């Protein structure tokens, strides 16, 4: 066990500069033995916040834009302009179990889960920490574990549920049923809500607080069709005075904007966000919006004029996601948005519609539509039409963010109807990614998803 904690602090030492950006303390200068790591508030905090720095250390990794980009290409949002086999697999929904990104999307969340588990074990065993700090850090570690499990279960379906640090046990775990994974996610988030503080534990909104845990919990309840709990939990976030919908859409993705519930900060010099670094045209966009997404915006939608970039070439005009405005620059004005306020209205609208609270659901959607300068929905709209309106608003509000469109089509069982007509060779089994070949080789208790055997 000692080696686990030494590794954690070693990671924090490796990213000492980035740890400083997450906490207002200096990280430890040297590796510490296990009995010292969780002996003080300072070193315990450094061990926990290292997770966020490591999440954003590189671009093409799980939290460093990969989920957003792979989700967008797997759905119908944008594509890489040229042939690139590692991306073509997702655009064509023909993913190889040996593929580079399918493996990264499995391995990297599990590395963060391992880190979170080690922190949880160390924090729970410690008797020398300030109670407030200990609770906050425990809440953060459980939040990160739930966050990673949420994406794993939505990408792969059944996945091993790892709650400890014994590699001999972890290495042979079978895949856990989806319902049990979601129970673990919601249990972790309920604990996190109880443990974490209302205020942000850092000077900026780059470490999660109670509202972040509630925001992710509301989403988990929505995905598991616990409509009443989704409505109640989203309402807690919506009623929090720290958050507001911004009228100026160009300010939504600025660092620490009032629409931010949780952001991640890139720790690479010269970069604001990995999304902006890769999406903003230079001189032509590498990632281009599909005609389907461009055509989904209603005339006059402010989200189109604010969040869709236009690159006019000599022979073609190309369109690209432009929520982030900065490609490179030492002056950091943007952070990567992970959880934001607008989603909570969309969660509550869908949950209310499913409970036949149609007027309340319509009011939530109209809040989002009015911000985009669109008219109100018809007052006589029925439930089926209202749920399609929810899908529409989620599509144009959350495009290119964290795989929302891809996950929405899967959880509402709309993937075949929507993607079948626009994806050549589409198969229903493509809604799940393949378990990586490397995982199957090292753990014989795993089995492969249908369609990849």
120-135 per-residue burial string, b: 16 or more CB within 10 A, e: under 16? bbbbeebeebeeebbb
**CB contact set of 92 (below 8 Å; sequence gap of 6+):** 423, 424, 425
pLDDT bucket at 58, cuts 50 / 70 / 90? confident
pLDDT at position 28: 39
**CB contact set of 54 (below 8 Å; sequence gap of 6+):** 11, 15, 112, 115
- Given a cut of 80, is residue 146 above it in pLDDT? yes
- Given a cut of 80, is residue 370 above it in pLDDT? yes
| Three-class HEC string of 107-155 | HHHHHHHHHHHHHHHHHHHCCCCCHHHHHHHHHHHHHHHHHHHHHHHHH
Cα separation of 453 and 430, whole Å?
A: 13
Q: What is the DSSP letter of 176?
A: B
Give the model confidence (pLDDT) of 250-293 as tens digits: 999 999 999 999 999 988 888 899 898 999 988 889 999 999 99
Give the model confidence (pLDDT) of 309-334 as tens digits: 999 988 899 999 999 999 988 899 99
Q: Which of 2, 53, 6, 1 is nearest to 28 (CA)?
A: 6
CB 287 within 8 A of CB 346: no
Better pLDDT: 34 or 197: 197
The span from the first CA to the last CA of the chain, in angstroms, equals 37
Q: Read off the pLDDT of each residue in 123-144 and give the average, rounded to a whole number.
A: 97
**CB contact set of 176 (below 8 Å; sequence gap of 6+):** 158, 159, 160, 161, 184
Sketch the domain layout of the chain as residue ranges.
Answer: 274-336
Query: For 149, phi and psi rounded to 5 degrees?
Result: -65, -35
Q: Read off the pLDDT of each residue in 218-233 and give the average, rounded to a whole number.
A: 98
CB 436 within 8 A of CB 106: yes
Q: Distance between alpha carbon 75 and the CA centroid of its chain, in Å? A: 16
- Given a cut of 80, is residue 417 above it in pLDDT? yes
């Amino acid at each position: 066990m000692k080696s686990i904690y030494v590794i954690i602090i070693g990671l924090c030492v490796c990213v000492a500069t980035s740890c400083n950006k997450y906490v207002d303390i200096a990280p430890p200068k040297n590796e510490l033995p296990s009995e010292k790591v969780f002996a003080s508030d300072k070193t315990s905090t450094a061990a926990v916040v290292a997770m966020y720095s490591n999440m954003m250390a590189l671009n093409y990794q799980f939290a460093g834009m990969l989920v957003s980009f792979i989700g967008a290409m797997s759905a119908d949002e944008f594509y890489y302009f040229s042939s690139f086999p590692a991306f073509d697999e997702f655009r064509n929904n023909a993913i190889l179990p040996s593929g580079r990104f399918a493996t990264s999307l499995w391995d990297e969340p599990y590395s963060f889960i391992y880190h979170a588990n080690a922190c949880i074990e160390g924090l729970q065993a410690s008797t020398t920490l300030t109670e407030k700090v200990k609770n906050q850090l425990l809440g953060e570690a459980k939040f990160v574990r739930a966050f990673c499990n949420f994406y794993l279960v939505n990408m792969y379906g059944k996945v091993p549920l790892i709650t400890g640090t014994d590699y001999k046990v972890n290495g042979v775990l079978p895949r856990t049923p989806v319902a049990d994974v979601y129970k673990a996610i919601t249990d972790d988030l309920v604990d996190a809500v109880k443990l974490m503080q209302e205020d942000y534990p850092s000077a900026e909104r780059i470490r999660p607080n109670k509202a972040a845990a509630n925001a992710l919990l509301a989403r988990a309840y929505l995905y598991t069709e616990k409509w009443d709990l989704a409505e109640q939990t989203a309402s807690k976030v919506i009623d929090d005075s720290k958050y507001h919908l911004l009228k100026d859409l160009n300010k939504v993705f600025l660092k620490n904007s009032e629409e931010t519930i949780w952001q991640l900060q890139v720790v690479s010099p010269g970069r604001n966000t990995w999304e902006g670094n890769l999406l903003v045209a230079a001189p032509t966009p590498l990632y281009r919006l599909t005609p389907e997404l461009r055509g989904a915006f209603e005339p006059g939608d402010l989200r189109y004029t604010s969040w869709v970039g236009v690159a006019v070439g000599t022979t073609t005009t190309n369109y690209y996601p432009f929520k982030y405005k900065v490609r490179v620059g030492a002056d950091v004005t943007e952070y990567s948005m992970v959880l934001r306020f607008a989603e909570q209205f969309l969660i509550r609208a869908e949950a209310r519609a499913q409970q036949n609270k149609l007027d309340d659901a319509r009011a939530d959607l109209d809040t989002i539509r009015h911000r985009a300068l669109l008219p109100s929905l018809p007052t006589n709209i029925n439930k089926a039409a209202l749920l399609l309106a929810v899908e529409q608003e989620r599509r144009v509000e959350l495009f290119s963010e964290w795989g929302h469109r891809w996950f929405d089509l899967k959880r509402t069982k709309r993937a075949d109807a929507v993607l079948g007509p626009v994806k050549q060779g589409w198969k229903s089994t493509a809604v799940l990614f393949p378990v990586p070949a490397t995982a199957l080789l090292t753990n014989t208790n795993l089995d492969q998803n249908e369609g990849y055997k």
